[in-house]
Amino acid sequence: MHKVQEIKVIAARIRRVLRQTNGMRMEEMFWQDLKTLLNMIIEDIENVIRVGGTIDIDIKTIAERLNRMLKVGDQALLHGVFWDDLDTLLNKILDEGKDE
C-alpha cells in the first residue's frame, strides 16, 4: 500500500504543477517527478496499482508510451498526444473524471 500512496502523491504533485504553469516553462522537479512516477509504474505495476481487485493495464501502457516519448526529447513533447496521455494517466491514478 505504501507504493500506491507514493504514486498518488507524485501524480497529485504533477497535476498541481500542470495547473499552475499553464503553458509556462516546466520546473525541473516536474520532470523528475514524472520520470520517477513512470519508472515506478513500469517496474512494479503488478504490486502497485490495483483497480477493483484487478490490475489496470491501461496505466502501464500509457506509462510506457510516455516514457518512450520522454526519451525522444523536446520534439515529442510538442505533440498534444504526450499531454493528453499524461492527463489520462493522472486521471486514472487519481481516480478523477470517473463521472465524466
Q: Give per-residue pLDDT as tens, 69-86.
A: 888 766 656 667 888 888
Can you tell me the distance from the alpha carbon of 20 to that of 71, in angstroms, rounded to the nearest whole number? 25
pLDDT in tens, 15-51: 877 777 655 556 777 888 899 999 888 887 655 555 4
CA angle centred on 88, ends 67 and 70, rounded to 5°: 20
Neighbours of 51 (CB within 10 A): 13
Predicted structure pTM score: 0.66
Whose grid coordinates read 510506457? 64
The grid cell for 77 is 513533447
Domain ranges of the chain: 2-93
Amino acid 92: pLDDT? 87
54: confidence class by pLDDT, cuts 50, 70, 90: very low
Distance (Å, rounded) from C-alpha 5 to C-alpha 65?
23
